[in-house]
Amino acid sequence: MTIPLDTEFPTDFANQIAQLEAYNKHHYRPNSYLHKWWARRCGSTFRLILKQLVADEAQRDYYAPGGLAGKIILDPMMGGGTTLHEAIRLGAHVVGADLEPIPVLQARATLTQVDLAALERAYKQFYTALRKAVSPYFQTICPESGLATAVNYTLYGVKRKCNGRSVIMVDSLVLRVEPDGSTIQLCPRCHAVLQDTAACACSGMSDKPPLLEKGAKTFAGEPAMFDDDSALPFYQRYVPLVLVARCPRQKKLLFKAPDAQDWALLEQANELRQTLPFDLADFAIDPGRKSRQLTPRGIKNYLDLFSSRQLIYLHHAICLLPQFEPAIRLNLGLLVSTSLEFNSMLCGYKGKNKRRAGAIRHTFSHHAYSFPYTALENNPVYPRKASGTLQKLFQSRIRNGRRWAAKPRERVIGKRLSVNSKRKFIEVVGEQDSGREVRSVAEMTAESESRFLLLQGSSTQLDLPDGSVDYIVTDPPYFDSVQYSDLAAFFRVWLRHLLPDAANWAYDTQDSAVDPHQLDSESRYTELMTGIFAECRRVLKEENGRFVFTFHHWNPKGWAALTVALQKAGFALVNRYVVHSENPISVHISGMKALLHDAILVFAPKETVDVRWERPSHINQSDSEQFCYDCGTFLGWMLQEGVAETAVLPLWQEALNDA
């Protein structure tokens, strides 16, 4: 028996909506973006995949509610949780599994119904106490009014040696360019903040290290040769240069150099840092391919990536959380953890132009660790809803997410746009992005409301009965390039303290499909995918079961690994489709030869598939969309022919001209 996805998929519609969503995914699905996770796929694409699994044709419409009531959907590599959120909205029961604790905790927090009013009250109590403890260290005096005001953020330069002399490096001496062309900038000699082209009173005389812009080629008339002082802890290599706040009277943004009172507060924070109860052993850098960016710089523990004020913030957050009941504590703990992406000394400054939406270039804007010259220390308890503050993040990640979960909305395109020309989004009446957590699939009955089961552990061994899952929809890890587990250690070391009893923090990261350690990543990926796909075959229902995932990769080794894993598990390709997946201006792929599409691959147990695949004569490598389509076709032919395992990689290399 065939199902709709076997023969049809609304590719044109999927591309239109994905091209819009790819630019701001978090605005389209706010409830699934409580915590940072990497390489998320468009929720609209997965909604469309799931809609093509719906039996009732009327309910297959993208804007129609439900359609999968009573069905059990599994995502064995759930990551950001896209499949779970889309499927539960359609009325399905969902099972999500991941080795990593962060995806499991995020799914539990966002899928569990928690009264928004109760969350609001708890957050207000938490934030008020946190601000009382932390805000005294983020105060300054407005030079225009003479009144105390909260610091929004502080800009730092990095200390270096240039030709044997001490200097401070910054990305740019210009701090702000106003719409009228006027500027706010730093004096390179005395570090004073200057308005437009005003001459500095220092007249070139200063005992401070000179400021140099990134990319400087010469210094004092000689070619510039730079050295870092890696003996200093990382946070001490940065020097405060500018405090950014708002004038209490005029409400305008002001930039000021630190005065004696500011330096005294910073010194108080540095002294308090030494008394905080953080064990260095708990924060040692995890070994990994991304972490190798830290250790050569003399960074031995994650604590060094944070300023003293940021550590004070984290200490008080850890102390305050235990008073709240578990569901509230989980949400608040994840909120604090995700705030670290905007509150570390790896954050950069991008507020030079006034029209920029936010001043912060967050820690993982490049899907890797980066080391700014102008570092930005945010004030996490700043009272306004400014970029990266708790106030802003609670609004966007929890309040907006919960409201959306209660009344999910979808972008209007196509024929419906003319009918709803003044409405870009419409509510899907009858859906909600939440359910009830259970401990086994036995509790998932056709008559019950949507339920979810979350499993933390390797999906090579799923705690599920044979043939218990109707459909499996997932997005496997990206073979060899994105080290989710390695980067996630930045958050895990804190979540272990924020939410010590919420997950298994002692799991073996070597079981990660994208190996964070220095093992043979290629063979490990094939081995783990083989084990996971075999489990998928075991738990999938024999009759009408489908295994669907999205994938793209230029590397023939990635496609070969999938081929071997699928062959061993006994799957055959039923069909393949291609949809838009990536925003071409995303920082981590901009200017690279990146694939902008995903292949949607539909599999079924081999013995149930009656589809013949012809080997493509050529795989188009000049077009992202056609490349993914041709690779899907070639994969179907390989599985059909039962190619010997030793011949799989050579055939892929030949097909992709990479022999």
User: Can you tell me whether residue 321 is helix, strand or coil?
Assistant: helix
Calculate the CA 157 to chain-centre distance. Answer: 27
Residues 6+ apart with CB under 8 A from 444: 72, 93, 438, 451, 453
Which of 413-417, 476-480, 492-496, 559-563 is the least confident region? 413-417
User: How big is the CA angle at 382 (ends 132 and 241), to the nearest 5 degrees?
Assistant: 110
Q: Which of 354, 388, 422 is the last residue of a domain?
A: 388
* DSSP letters for 3-37: -HHHH---HHHHHHHHHHHTT-HHHHSGGG-SS--
**What would the two tokens of residue 537 be?**
């075959």
pLDDT of 240 reads 98
Q: Tell me, yes or no, whether 564 lies in a domain.
A: yes
Q: Tell me, yes or no, whether 380 lies in a domain.
A: yes
Name which residue leads in pLDDT, 199 or 177.
177
For residues 455 and 567, membership in a common domain is answered with: yes
Strands 139-141 and 148-162: antiparallel
Spatial distance between the Cα atoms of 358 and 590, rounded to a whole number of angstroms: 20
For residues 495 and 626, membership in a common domain is answered with: yes
Spatial distance between the Cα atoms of 615 and 636, rounded to a whole number of angstroms: 8
C-alpha dihedral (99, 101, 107, 110), degrees to nearest 10:
-170
Calculate the CA 392 to chain-centre distance. Answer: 17
- DSSP letter for 396, please: I
Which of 92-101, 164-173, 327-336, 419-428 is the least confident region? 419-428
- DSSP letter for 135, please: G
Q: With helix as H, strand as E and coil as C, how does 630-648 read?
A: HHHHHHHHHHHHCCCHHHH
Calculate the CA 279 to chain-centre distance. Answer: 27
C-alpha dihedral (442, 447, 451, 453), degrees to nearest 10:
10
Q: Tell me, yes or no, whether 45 lies in a domain.
A: yes
Owner of token pair 């004070």: 312
Q: Is residue 370 within 8 Å of 347, Cβ to Cβ?
A: no
What CATH number has the domain bearing residue 441? 3.40.50.150
User: What average pLDDT does range 385-391 have in this prediction?
Assistant: 95
Q: Tell me, yes or no, whether 401 lies in a domain.
A: no
Candidates 127, 39, 50, 121; CA nearest to 80 is: 39
Domain that holds residue 332: 119-388
Q: Tell me, yes or no, whether 395 lies in a domain.
A: no
Candidates 60, 32, 27, 29; CA nearest to 44 is: 29
Q: Tell me, yes or no, whether 509 lies in a domain.
A: yes
For residues 307 and 259, membership in a common domain is answered with: yes
pLDDT of 516 reads 44
For residues 164 and 94, membership in a common domain is answered with: no
Q: Is 66 left (phi over 0), alpha (psi -120 to 50) or beta?
A: left
pLDDT of 236 reads 96
Share of residues in the chain with pLDDT > 70 (%): 92
Predicted confidence (pLDDT) at residue 592 exceeds the cutoff of 60: no
pLDDT of 643 reads 95
Which of 116-125, 521-530, 582-591, 630-639 is the least confident region? 582-591
What count of Cα atoms within 13 Å lies in the side-chain half-sphere of residue 125? 14
Q: Is residue 327 within 8 Å of 112, Cβ to Cβ?
A: yes
Q: pLDDT for 230-246, tens place per residue? A: 889 999 999 999 999 99
pLDDT of 252 reads 86
pLDDT of 418 reads 58
Q: Is residue 78 within 8 Å of 474, Cβ to Cβ?
A: yes
**What would the two tokens of residue 374 be?**
């102008």
Total of domains in the chain: 2
Which of 91-100, 130-139, 473-482, 509-518 is the least confident region? 509-518
pLDDT of 257 reads 96
User: What average pLDDT does range 516-532 have in this prediction?
Assistant: 71
For residues 432 and 308, membership in a common domain is answered with: no
Which of 67-71, 411-415, 467-471 is the least confident region? 411-415
Per residue in 164-186, is it b (16+ CB within 10 Å) or e — as a string? eeebbbbbebebbbeeeeebbbb
For residues 64 and 130, membership in a common domain is answered with: no
- Confidence category of residue 198, pLDDT binned at 50, 70, 90: confident
At residue 543, what are phi and psi to the nearest 5 degrees? Answer: -90, 115
For residues 108 and 192, membership in a common domain is answered with: no
Predicted confidence (pLDDT) at residue 547 exceeds the cutoff of 50: yes
For residues 130 and 93, membership in a common domain is answered with: no
Q: Tell me, yes or no, whether 400 lies in a domain.
A: no
Predicted confidence (pLDDT) at residue 33 exceeds the cutoff of 60: yes
pLDDT of 591 reads 46
Q: pLDDT for 260-293, tens place per residue? A: 999 999 999 999 999 999 999 999 998 888 888 8
Predicted confidence (pLDDT) at residue 512 exceeds the cutoff of 80: no
Element spanning 546, H or E: strand 546-551
pLDDT of 605 reads 97
- Confidence category of residue 553, pLDDT binned at 50, 70, 90: confident
Predicted confidence (pLDDT) at residue 98 exceeds the cutoff of 80: yes
**Sign (positive or negative) of CA dihedral 650, 651, 656, 659:** positive
User: What average pLDDT does range 516-541 have in this prediction?
Assistant: 80
Q: Tell me, yes or no, whether 73 lies in a domain.
A: yes
pLDDT of 455 reads 98
**What would the two tokens of residue 472 be?**
């499996």
For residues 63 and 132, membership in a common domain is answered with: no
For residues 384 and 412, membership in a common domain is answered with: no
Predicted confidence (pLDDT) at residue 589 exceeds the cutoff of 50: no
User: What average pLDDT does range 403-428 have in this prediction?
Assistant: 82
Candidates 160, 150, 90; CA nearest to 390 is: 150
Q: Which of 388, 421, 443 is the last residue of a domain?
A: 388
Spatial distance between the Cα atoms of 67 and 169, rounded to a whole number of angstroms: 58
Highest mean pLDDT, choosing among 179-188, 242-251, 399-408: 399-408
Q: pLDDT for 294-320, tens place per residue? A: 988 999 999 999 999 999 999 999 999
Q: Is residue 95 within 8 Å of 75, Cβ to Cβ?
A: yes
pLDDT of 357 reads 54
Average pLDDT, the chain: 91
Spatial distance between the Cα atoms of 441 and 545, rounded to a whole number of angstroms: 16
pLDDT of 582 reads 75
Per residue in 69-95, is it b (16+ CB within 10 Å) or e — as a string? bebbbbbbbbbbbbbbbbbbbbbbbbb
User: What average pLDDT does range 184-209 have in this prediction?
Assistant: 86
For residues 432 and 296, membership in a common domain is answered with: no
Q: pLDDT for 314-364, tens place per residue? A: 999 999 999 999 999 999 999 999 999 999 999 999 888 766 556 899 999
Q: Which of 337, 355, 388 is the last residue of a domain?
A: 388
Predicted confidence (pLDDT) at residue 456 exceeds the cutoff of 80: yes
- Confidence category of residue 420, pLDDT binned at 50, 70, 90: low
pLDDT of 482 reads 53
pLDDT of 510 reads 64
Spatial distance between the Cα atoms of 29 and 44, rounded to a whole number of angstroms: 9
- Confidence category of residue 587, pLDDT binned at 50, 70, 90: very low
Residues 6+ apart with CB under 8 A from 33: 25, 26, 80, 397, 401
For residues 71 and 146, membership in a common domain is answered with: no
